[in-house]
Structures are given as C-alpha cells and as structure tokens.
Amino acid sequence: MKNILKNITSLRLVWFIVLAILIVDQIIKFEVKSTMSLGESIPITSWFKITFIENNGMAYGMTFINKIVLSIFRLIAITAIGYYVCKITKTTHRKGYVACLALVLAGAIGNMIDSMFYGLIFNASTPFNVSELVPFGTGYAGFLEGKVVDMFYFPLIVTTWPEWVPVWGGHEFIFFSPVFNFADAAISCGVVLLILFYRKEMEGLSLNFFSKKSKEKEGN
C-alpha cells in the first residue's frame, strides 16, 4: 500500500510539472506569435529582450536536419522518455530525479506541439505582418512541418573582439546570443540538474529502461 501511494504521488508530480510547463509555454508562444511580427524585438532591460524568431525545432535555434526527419526523431525521443518516466515511477526512486525527467519531457512536448499544429492553424509570420489564426489545415505548413516559436534573448555582453584576435578580430561579440523559449529552458534546466545531482541514476538508465523488471533503488 505504501509503494502504491508513492507511485501515485510520483505520477501526479510528473503530470503537474508537464501540464504546468506546457500551459505556460504555449501561452507565451501564442501571445508572441499572434502579436509580434517576425524579427520584432521588445527591450525589457539592457540585457534582456523579447525577440520573435522561428526555427525548425532544435534547441536554441539550431537548424541542420530536415524538418520531417527532425520531427519524427523528436516524436520517438518523447515516446522513449515518457515510457522511461512511467517505468521508474513503479520503482523506489528520488522525487527530484523524476522531476528533472519531467522537465525534459515537458519541454520536448512543448516544442513538438509547435511543429505539429502551428503550421496548420497560423498563416506565415513575416517582418511586415503579424500572423493570424486560420481555419485548421490552411496554415503555412503541413503536419509536423510547423516552426517553433522562440522569444527569450539575453545579450548579457555586447562588445567587439580585439583587432589582434585571429578571424574574429574587429567583429561584434555577443554573449549570450541564442534566442530560446520556455520549453528550451525547461529542457536545459532538467539536463543540467540531472548531470549535477543524479549521475548515479543516469548511470543505471539503460538497465532501468530495457529491463523487464526494474531493480528497486534506494531513495533518499
């Protein structure tokens, strides 16, 4: 009975984290997509701006894989992570480990929603007009081909490389230059916390994932 209660608590924790992140992530993306033109930037502070860009769906705007291939890969990854999270909730485990995995899962789902549906329900954003909702299926792209909305830009340091620096000398240097979204932040936080505090659990990931009957672990 005690283990059943622990499992229910863990599952509720996963659902709460995933739903909370998805709701916040989609509210922010919908607001940006429907009120800002592509490339528009709103200064919040000298080191933080809301800047609307779109990308094919890799973290922090990276784009070097075919969109359909990337979307299929991400669907497989989301399914695998979801399966693993459900599996470990049936064992003795640290709640923090489950929470970190839920962060990664929620972030991946958040960006996947953009790819699956935004191309179907929005017309294309451009630097000259704000995107609008359109009848389902008449948007700018097909299923799995929608672009992911990014908006958080933190140019913490904006300077120029010294002239004596090879290649980059005299060019502008910006730290931190990637534009990202709330889902990306959830993924990054989850991964960093896993690496810092849950290495032992990560080392046993393959055993837990592939074994038919997971070996119970000691929790804190």
Of 1-5, 117-121, 151-155, minimum mean pLDDT range: 1-5
pLDDT at 220 over 60: no
Kind plus residue range of the DSSP H or E element containing 55: strand 48-55
β-bridge mates for residue 48, sequence order: 45
Angle, helices 95-113 vs 182-197, to 10°: value is 150
Q: What is the pTM assigned to this prediction?
A: 0.84
Task: Tell me the average pLDDT across 46-75.
Answer: 79
**102, 17 contact by CB (below 8 A):** yes
Burial, 60: exposed, middle or buried (Cβ in 10 Å; 0-12, 13-18, 19+)? middle
- Condensed to tens digits (0 to 9), the pLDDT of residues 109-126 reads 999 999 999 999 999 999
pLDDT at 31 over 90: yes
Catalytic residues: 150, 184
Res 211: pLDDT: 57
Res 64: pLDDT: 56
Task: Tell me the average pLDDT across 48-62.
Answer: 78
Task: Tell me the average pLDDT across 65-80.
Answer: 86
Residue type for 108, please?
A: A
> Tokens 């009120």 map to which residue?
35
- Condensed to tens digits (0 to 9), the pLDDT of residues 6-27 reads 555 888 899 999 999 999 999 9
**200, 100 contact by CB (below 8 A):** no
Of the chain, the percentage scoring pLDDT greater than 70 comes to: 85
123/206 Cα distance (integer angstroms):
43
Task: Tell me the average pLDDT across 87-104.
Answer: 89
CA R_g for the chain: 20
Of 9-23, 37-51, 125-139, 166-180, minimum mean pLDDT range: 166-180
